[in-house]
Structure 1
Amino acid sequence: MRIQVTVDEAMQDYVASISLREPDVLRDLRKKTSELPLALMQISPEQGQFLALLVKAIGARRALEIGVFTGYSLLSTAMALPAGGRVVGLDISEEWTSIAREFAGRAGVAEKIELRVGDARQSLAALMRENGSAGSFDFVFIDADKENYAAYYEAALELLRPGGLIVVDNVLWHGAVLDEAQQDSETTALRAFNAKVRDDKRVVLSVVPFADGLTFALKR
């Protein structure tokens, strides 16, 4: 028998009350982001804490984030990295990443973060051309435009070491992936991406219905 707890607002509040340890700087960043028109693009504090736990659990020293927005997940990762660790963040927006830079300074982790602003596909191509980059990353978080998820995933696999972990956000897309009436470019891209990773023998796979759906792909 499969038992599934319904996570309504009351349950979410309870989970936060027994587990969330949100640093003040991240709380302040979340508040600032909540004032923006696209605030829903920000991950939840519980998800940020989960990413930080994963970074520590696999002993990551070099991380990559594709899709930074205002930097909540980026800072969560940077703060979890050990001294000397580094996270490369890719985003199209100078405006959004300027907020990430500001709060990285407040958090005291600016030296751990390298932001590259521009088309992520071009940034990834440039990164892969750099000597020693291939196979050098431990952790990749993908949370950018959905139409290019497959391309980002392939680049991540090339950049990851064996045993490195890819985490992909929004793979359930608020349930739209189940609705065949939804044929917009984002939803169809996510359906194709989910099928691609399902059949990919290069990784150990788990998809968890947490937040908006998270894919975990461990490179063999």
Structure 2
Amino acid sequence: MTGRPAPGVLPAALRAWLGPIAALAALAVVVLGALYAEDGEPGSLDARIWAAVDGAGPPWRSVALAVDFLGEPVGSAMLVIAAVTGCLLLRRPGAAALVVTGAGLTVGTTTLLKPLVGRTIHGDDNLSYPSGHTAFVTALALVMALLATGRLGLGRAAGTALVLAAALVAGAAMGWAQVALGAHYPTDALGGWCTALAVTPAAAWLVDRMADTVRRRRH
């Protein structure tokens, strides 16, 4: 006896909203990249925000370093493994696939964009736009929020609010840490956040399409 197929990782209730949001986020990434292309100095907005949070002293510097660790190779690997394990324990292999695909495509996109934009910080060798740390944690938060939306059966308004809130909290926390540590300009963090908003829904759609293809071939 064949069981019902597992629900998609992109809840149907959110598709109409996340598409335009992803498109606007992608546009923001392009616009910010064009504004700061080949630049090595903070913009006026960057300077004002940076002056308020840069050089955080104890205990805030310790907090910033702890948050920053979650975007480093070891910390990010730990988060991905924990998220994948949790998805598998919940019997959501599609969500587990999205953790890897969404995070991987998001970080890969920031890696490709950095040399294309050419914005630097603290020297010509330190490409800064967009922030990969911010993009990674935002992507992971989006995946977890999509999973929660599907499991809780949330409607369009509640699901969209949960997804955006999760992305905002995760992105703001990592963005603050990057700015406080002097690793990125605020607009780098914004660019990383928007990159995750643009790429993760597309990755979810891709995972669902691949799952549908596999199911059709089996039947």
Higher RCO (Cα < 8 Å, 6 or more apart):
2
TM-score grouping bracket, smaller chain normalisation: under 0.3
Q: Which has the higher helix share?
A: 2
Q: Which has the higher strand share?
A: 1
TM-score relative to the length of structure 2: 0.27
